[in-house]
Every structure is written in structure tokens, then in C-alpha cells.
């Protein structure tokens, strides 16, 4: 779900920024494109690392659960904005950057968004037909989670609770 949600998020943000043509999602389709006004969201890489962190939480019914982060996942996409002029490309690029949120929720988990950098290329440096293009690396930092509940106590019966009135209660662990 993380890959699809992140890709769709970037496609929507490019459309909101002003890319009016079809948003390309593969390198092959982008290379065959003959348009000067172009937008693309291309998957670059995914990095996974094992993680064992735990967080305790309560669900809507009040039951306690443990959420374990099994893997850290970082997905990097490259967005491409191609235009006829430098000014038009920069205007769309600035609207795109301004529209990006600090993160989004995917399946109830927060996924942080970071922009890692941009490259500006003109006609001589690019395979695109656009006069100028900007390529931006956007990384989504999320994870793979496993929720577990607490095991119910079985065969435990409290018979009596006794309190020692002579002894002082500990304060601050002392």
C-alpha cells in the first residue's frame, strides 16, 4: 500500500501544481513522449532496514495493543516537470514544492516526506522534448508494522489485598 499511495500522492500534487497533460509513470513512456509540456512520477529505489521498535497504544474500544515496526522503508521517487520556458517550469515547480505536506497517513501510519534535491536540465542535456525540465527526488520514510495485543491473564485469582499501614509509601522511587 505504501508504494501505490506515495505514487498517487505525487501525481495529484503535480496536477494541482499545473501539469495539465498525462503524468507518465515509466521511463520508457517518458522517453517516447513527444510533448514539450510534460510531467512524470518515476520510481527510483526502495531501501529497507530491520527495526524492532515498539509503541503501546489503545484502540477505539480501549483495548491495549503493541505496534512493532518490523522494517523501516524509504521509497524515493523522481518527479519531472518539463515546460516550454524557464519561467513556466519554475512557476509549476514552486507550486509543486509549496503543495507538498510534511507527511501523509497510509493505513493509519504517518509517512514523512522529504525533498532531497532538484536538477535543472535544458534541451541539450535531456531526452525530453521540453526546452527546460526540473527533476526532483522526493523520499517517503515509512515502515512495515505488526500489531499485537496483550495476552489476557488466565488462572489468576486475587484472594486478598493487604496494605501495611506502618510502612511509608515510596516517593519518587525511594
User: What's the pLDDT at 97?
Assistant: 95
**Residue indicated by cell numbers 501539469:** 19
Whether the CB-CB separation of 101 and 113 falls below 8 Å is answered with yes
Residue 24 in any domain: the answer is: yes
Residue 170 in any domain: the answer is: no
Alpha-helical runs (H) found in the chain: 2-17, 27-32, 86-99
Domain that holds residue 93: 2-149
User: What's the pLDDT at 93?
Assistant: 95
Residue 60 in any domain: the answer is: yes
| Whole-number average pLDDT of the chain | 86
Number of domains within the chain = 1
User: What's the pLDDT at 50?
Assistant: 92
Residue 162 in any domain: the answer is: no
Residue 91 in any domain: the answer is: yes
- Directed axis angle between helix 86-99 and helix 2-17, to 10°? 130
- What CATH number should be reported for the domain holding residue 33? 3.30.2000.10
What is the C-alpha separation between 110 and 125, in angstroms, rounded? Answer: 37
Residue 164 in any domain: the answer is: no
pLDDT at residue 76 greater than cutoff 80? yes
**pLDDT tens, position by position, 5-55:** 999 999 999 999 999 889 999 988 888 887 878 899 999 999 999 988 888
Residue 140 in any domain: the answer is: yes
pLDDT at residue 116 greater than cutoff 90? yes
- Mapped onto helix, strand or coil, the DSSP state of residue 123 is helix
Q: How confident is the model at residue 126 (pLDDT cuts 50, 70, 90)?
A: low
Percent of the chain whose pLDDT exceeds 70: 87
Q: How confident is the model at residue 60 (pLDDT cuts 50, 70, 90)?
A: confident
Residue 166 in any domain: the answer is: no
Nearest to residue 45, comparing CAs of 84, 81, 6? 6
Amino acid at each position: 500500500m505504501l508504494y501505490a499511495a506515495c505514487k498517487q500522492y505525487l501525481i495529484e500534487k503535480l496536477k494541482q501544481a499545473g501539469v495539465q497533460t498525462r503524468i507518465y509513470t515509466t521511463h520508457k513512456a517518458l522517453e517516447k513522449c513527444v510533448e514539450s509540456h510534460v510531467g512524470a512520477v518515476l520510481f527510483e529505489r526502495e531501501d529497507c532496514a530491520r527495526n524492532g521498535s515498539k509503541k503501546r497504544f489503545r484502540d477505539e474500544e480501549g483495548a491495549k495493543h503493541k505496534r512493532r515496526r518490523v522494517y523501516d522503508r524509504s521509497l524515493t521517487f523522481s518527479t519531472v516537470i518539463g515546460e516550454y520556458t524557464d519561467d513556466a517550469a519554475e512557476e509549476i515547480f514552486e507550486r509543486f514544492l509549496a503543495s507538498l505536506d510534511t507527511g501523509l497517513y497510509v493505513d493509519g501510519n504517518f509517512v514523512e516526506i522529504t525533498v532531497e534535491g532538484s536538477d535543472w536540465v535544458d534541451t541539450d542535456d535531456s531526452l525530453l522534448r521540453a526546452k527546460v525540465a526540473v527533476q526532483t527526488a522526493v523520499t517517503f520514510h515509512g515502515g512495515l508494522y505488526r500489531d499485537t495485543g496483550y495476552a489476557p491473564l488466565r488462572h489468576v485469582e486475587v484472594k486478598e489485598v493487604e496494605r501495611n499501614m506502618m510502612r511509608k509509601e515510596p516517593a519518587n522511587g525511594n
